Amino acid sequence: MTLEGTNTYIYGENPCLVIDPGPGHPEHLEAVRRAAAERGGAEAVLLTHSHRDHAEGAPALGLPVVLPTDGERHGGLTAVATPGHAADHVCLLTSDGVCFSGDLVLGEGSTIVPPDGGSLTAYLQSLRRLQQEPLILICPVHGPWITDPAAKLEEYVEHRLMRERRLVAALDSGERSRAALLAAAWDDVPEELRPAAAHAMEAHLQKLDGEGRLPGHLSD
């Protein structure tokens, strides 16, 4: 689920900042140390959120570890609160339009919004907040860089709304079985990805419930 792994970023110099050092793999952490040393040494680790694949390796670097809050500035980076994938998620923005997006936006595919600890409502609000920023580049922690941020953000919003429309249509037809709802709204998802799709559906159902749009009791 992390595509080709976790992208760790070294930002700035004399000193630099380490963004999302990733899991505690010794070889990866040694590469981070070398890259930081080449930039005059690191003063801190910044996390976009506290999930293990982003944060596990941080203590081994022996640096202060910071999970910024909205509006905090660190070495030319400004934190923007972007909850949804995780309640503590932030993106880190430079003054010239680069966004270190954590898991809000991936280089490939779509982000999981877990039904426990996440919020699809908050996630969509976070995407729309980034749409207000004059971004020229998105650097995700999983997958390749995104060189057309506006198009990607619009794609992400529309993807979620498309799933919601299909789910609501199935509910409006009278369907109350989770299995049937999944088959109706995620029929284009390969079988091996159905468990992830089921988690995504629960996030949608929670959103609809919170908005008073979930009709009746659902069965498995």
Segment 32-79, tens digit of pLDDT: 999 999 999 999 999 999 988 889 999 999 999 999 999 999 999 999
Question: Does some domain include residue 219?
Answer: no
Range of the domain at 195: 9-210
The pLDDT score that the predictor gives to residue 117 is: 66
- The span from the CA of 8 to the CA of 17, in Å, is 11
Structural domain tally of the chain? 1
* DSSP-derived secondary structure letter, 24: -
> For the chain, which residues score pLDDT lower than 70?
1-4, 117
The pLDDT score that the predictor gives to residue 54 is: 87
pTM confidence score? 0.91
- The span from the CA of 110 to the CA of 107, in Å, is 9
- The span from the CA of 58 to the CA of 29, in Å, is 9
Question: Does some domain include residue 217?
Answer: no
Question: Does some domain include residue 205?
Answer: yes
User: CATH number of the domain that 32 lies in?
Assistant: 3.60.15.10
Question: Does some domain include residue 124?
Answer: yes
Residue located via tokens 């500035």:
73
| Residues taking part in catalysis | 53
